Structures are given as C-alpha cells and as structure tokens.
C-alpha cells in the first residue's frame, strides 16, 4: 500500500477515534434491560443511535430505503443496489444522528453517488458497494461518528461477534421498516457451506461472506430495509466496519443466511474513488 494511502486511512482511523469500551458497555446494558422478544432486526433488540453513531438512514424522497455508514465528514458507504439511479443524486438524502429514521438528527443532501464500476459483474450482486459524497460535511458528536474499516492485517477470529444494525423489517411476515433502530449479534459462517446452500440460486464470490445465528437456526438476520447498512466487529479494543448488508433469500432463513459485502477487499477502490472527488 502506498504512503499516501496509508496516510489517508490513518486519518480515517484518527477521525473515528472514540471510547469503544464505554460504547460497548452501554450497548450491552441497554440490551439486557429489554425483553428479547421486544422487536428485532430479525431476532435482536431495539437500540439507540449513540450505540451505533456511524449508522445513517439512506432515503429517497420521504422513504427510508437502506442503511449506510459514515467514513468521513462528507463520505458515506452503502450498497450499490441501494442507489440504482446513481446519476440522480438529488433524489437521495441521508439522516444522521437519530434513533428514528423519520425525524431528528441532521438531514443531508447527496452531491455525488459512485457505485462500483463492476457492480453485478461477473455475477449477480458482486461488487455491491457504493460511495456517497455529501453536499455539506457532517458535524461529529456523540450521535454522529465515523468508523474505521477492518484492514487485511486485522485479526478477526472465525466466530467473532458481529453486530448488524438498521431500520429494516423486524418481522419476517411484515416487510416494512421499523421506526426505531435495531441491532442483532451474529457470526461469520462457513463460506463453502453457504455457497453450497445458494448453489443454483446465486454465487458467493470471494468478496462476499455469509453471516447468521451462531446456533444455525436462522433466528437472527438482517432483513428488508437493512441493505447497505454496516456490519461491525470488535478489533483490538475498538469497533471496525467489516461488511455491508447486501443480499439473501428471505430473512432469518437457516438454509439461506445473509450475504455481506466484504469491505476490506475494497480498501484500494475506496481510496482511488476518493481521489477522484472534488
């Protein structure tokens, strides 16, 4: 990696510095006070934006359509399939710093949308990643913070806890966004097993990974409306971004776990794309 790239990502890491231990303690304490059946992302808990300050709602018109992740004051990361009309950035907005997607926090227009140039190539849903450049910078606070990306050098254990959050549907039978932010805890699943399950329906590429319930029962998952949002994990005392909610067949289906874009594979793409922005 070139020196300029290292400096760029060092700046991102510095900008994302936060008291992660305190954040995690608050998150777990908040979870323990809730009835486990009290709403779910599917199979999770209601939460507060202060526990996931990197999370934003991506909106089109007055509708929440996807999640997204803050990387820097004017940079947000999401899934390419969330912004199919990338040449019409004026139609998209983000809301940051609010537990509710419909109100509170700050509302921001998008200046430019850059989906991966090889999205859907050579297989469906491959390279499902896009950068959003905001028209005005976010003002960081306890409820609005960037998050660093897991690097290839970071050690993420096989069964590390992964936290996925969003305003997506909380019930499989009710495909409508939740008014409040939810999260759940999942783990990375065996790639070969997941690829066999999806064989004939879709292809799991090297830049995708599967994640779901540790029990294997399919009782925890992201769902409709969570697409584009962050999947994070704990690395060396801080949270980092590992994945983007991408696709799957149904929600909370043990046979077809959720599939995520593996963000560390796109560090060079992110850097090169940022270099083109003015």
* 37 vs 230, higher pLDDT: 230
The residues assigned a catalytic role are 81, 128, 227
Average pLDDT over every residue of 180-209: 89
The mean of the pLDDT values for the chain is 82
Q: Is the pLDDT of residue 96 over 90?
A: yes
N-term to C-term CA, the chain:
23
**Domain-by-domain residue ranges, the chain?**
3-18+52-146+266-275
Task: Give the confidence band of 26 by pLDDT, cuts at 50, 70, 90.
Answer: very low
May I ask the CATH class of domain 3-18+52-146+266-275? Answer: mainly beta
Q: Which of the four pLDDT bands, split at 50, 70 and 90, describes residue 216? A: low
- Which of 36-50, 188-202, 255-269 shows the lowest per-residue confidence on average (mean pLDDT)? 36-50
- pLDDT tens figures, 42-86: 456 889 999 999 999 999 988 999 999 999 999 999 999 999 999
Instruction: Give the model confidence (pLDDT) of 123-147 as tens digits.
Output: 999 999 999 999 999 999 999 999 9
């Amino acid at each position: 990696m070139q020196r300029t790239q290292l400096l760029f990502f060092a700046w991102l890491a510095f900008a994302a510095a936060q008291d992660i231990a305190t954040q995690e303690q608050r998150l777990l304490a908040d979870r323990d006070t809730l009835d486990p059946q009290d709403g779910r992302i599917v199979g999770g808990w209601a939460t507060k934006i202060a526990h996931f300050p990197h999370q934003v709602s991506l909106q089109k018109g007055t509708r929440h359509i996807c999640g997204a992740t803050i990387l820097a004051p004017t940079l947000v990361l999401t899934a390419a399939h969330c912004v199919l009309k990338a040449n019409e950035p004026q139609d998209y907005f983000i809301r940051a710093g609010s537990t509710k997607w419909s109100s509170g926090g700050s509302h921001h227009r998008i200046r430019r949308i850059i989906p991966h140039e090889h999205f859907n190539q050579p297989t469906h849903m491959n390279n499902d990643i896009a950068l959003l450049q905001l028209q005005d910078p976010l003002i960081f606070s306890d409820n609005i913070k960037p998050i660093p990306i897991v690097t290839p050098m970071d050690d993420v254990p096989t069964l590390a806890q992964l936290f996925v959050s969003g305003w997506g549907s909380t019930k499989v039978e009710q495909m409508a966004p939740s008014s409040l932010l939810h999260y759940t805890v999942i783990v990375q699943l065996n790639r070969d097993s997941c690829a066999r399950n999806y064989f004939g329906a879709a292809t799991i590429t090297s830049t995708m990974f599967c994640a779901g319930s540790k029990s294997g029962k399919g009782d925890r998952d992201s769902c409709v409306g969570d697409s584009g949002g962050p999947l994070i994990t704990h690395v060396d005392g801080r949270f980092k971004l590992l994945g983007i909610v991408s696709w799957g067949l149904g929600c909370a289906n043990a046979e077809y776990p959720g599939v995520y874009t593996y963000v560390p594979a796109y560090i060079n793409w992110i850097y090169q794309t940022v270099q083109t922005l003015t």
